[in-house]
Structure 1
């Protein structure tokens, strides 16, 4: 079996995700197909590329070496492909984004980096809707937040890069909540609270919440639905709790707290239509998203405190490389 670009993409996707199921979803293929492809590659090479365990997969020394070379080759191939395809279509570039508190800064940085491009922005809480919009060319590029245990397949013709392999999900509490003074909140201690449901259709976030609370021994009492996000006035009024992005600001009457043990996590992915943006344009979007999110995270007292407690432990899973520079 001759090595192909798709094999290199598979190796990189598995290493990025740390999970065969999540890598398969990112590649738009089934997990059995990806497992079979990896096994054939390892037989051809004559040694394992990844070590499997109940917590996921990690590269072997040979896998690390293979991964480094694959990343270089794919970077050059993607740049070549983007330059050959060029940009297609007239009109503004249509950016989609999950709801992020750093969005105003992100857009400001994009306007500065790409002054010749007219940009329109669509905010969408559903990761599946964003992925489908890219696949059907109603969006050109998107920042997608995916629950860590959620499989959102991206169409094969799309380019994608992982912005952050994982970031925690925090909880928004009323300032007068009985747990508001805690450093971290145990999810199980919220069993009797009224909840604001995650925004968007039930394509991952609500499923992840129910799975996490099931592991904690309860079913969340979802009293409020806010399809377009928001709901923070309800929190400030003491009527509900809600999952929030870890960079969410603490508004009057509301506090933001990490969940003990990080029972819920998400990853941020940049995906785009290769025929619509050049490699250099995509790189500007990538850097603007990374810089905006990182600086907002480090300016957030709840996130910064969480980071300071975990940055020297294995629980950080290598994210120090993403946030360490921002605080050095």
Structure 2
């Protein structure tokens, strides 16, 4: 038996739901049917995909790998079938999480959609952007989330992977003892005060806490400030903060990789199929990918990683 699309969707749904019963409910099938399907998939891949516990199921290492790969495939397939007949006229309401490449990305999108009036909403929370897409307040958006966190999107919202995964970096004072190294061990930041990561409801805060537990400490999340509003706290050594890897920091701020890549994020382009056609979405996708790649190459800290890890480049 070969793996089918329905098998990939079922495995991802189980992982997202955290239990077979909830997964079956979301898929609209019985739990015994889902259990049988899962057993077939496990025979194909040659191992257990989930471990059962009192509170549900958690993916095994093999399961995590399959779910990660399946999400990329499903996002691409959803994108290929999305909005083939939708119109491309009228204003375009574009949303994005905050990234270093926001300005060049907007310029590129605006030029590519010549004749359309493009507006932009910059929002730290991808969950907020996803709700705006669903409610009709946005047409298309760049979403970001912790690698193991899913942002629920309805069927009428198409999506396509921009960057399958990139590591999360840390911003700290340029005078910090660890700022002089090529990378920062997470355990070395155990005594620091943290600024709450932007988009905490996108899994970033949970990912930080989980990674810190693995490093042997609980993070002291002491500040919650708007995107970019914590620069003075970081520069003066009062706090550290997780940042996306193309971040340029600022005066008195050093941006460094975290040793061992304990946290990773992915970027997705999502659009409402009734308001944005496939051709228009594909145009925007190409411009967003180009803007991100240019910013990656312009970052002296991130560029070596970007050049080495071709598997993490946006899918062609």
Q: TM-score range by the shorter chain?
A: 0.7 to 0.9
Return the offset for 1:173: 1.1
Report if the CA contact (8 A) 1:125-1:229 is conserved. Answer: no
Report if the CA contact (8 A) 1:141-1:273 is conserved. Answer: yes
Q: 2:203 aligns to what?
A: 204
Task: Show the 5 A alignment for 1:1-328.
Answer: 8=5, 11=8, 20=12, 24=16, 31-32=23-24, 40=37, 48=44, 54-57=60-63, 78=81, 82-87=83-88, 92-200=91-199, 202-307=201-306, 311=308, 316=309, 318-319=311-312, 321-322=313-314
**TM-score, L = length of structure 2:** 0.79
- Describe the superposition over 1:238-271 as per-residue Cα deviations: whole angstroms up to 9, x where unpaired: 2211111100014221111000111111110111
Structure 1 residues 203 and 270 mapped into 2: Cα distance closer, same or farther (>3 Å)?
A: closer
Q: CA RMSD in A?
A: 3.6
Return the offset for 1:178: 0.7
Counterparts of 1:129 and 1:285, CA distance in 2 = 20
Q: Secondary structure at the match of 1:289?
A: helix
**TM-score, L = length of structure 1:** 0.76
Return the offset for 1:208: 1.6
Structure 1 residues 287 and 228 mapped into 2: Cα distance closer, same or farther (>3 Å)?
A: same
After superposing the two structures, state which structure 1 stretch, 133-142 or 98-107, moved more.
Answer: 133-142
Return the offset for 1:149: 2.0
Report if the CA contact (8 A) 1:24-1:30 is conserved. Answer: no
Counterparts of 1:22 and 1:265, CA distance in 2 = 21
Structure 1 residues 286 and 303 mapped into 2: Cα distance closer, same or farther (>3 Å)?
A: same
Q: Tell me the number of residue pairs that the alignment of Structure 1 and Structure 2 aligns.
A: 292
Structure 1 residues 71 and 141 mapped into 2: Cα distance closer, same or farther (>3 Å)?
A: closer
In structure 2, stretches of 5+ residues that fail to align are 50-59
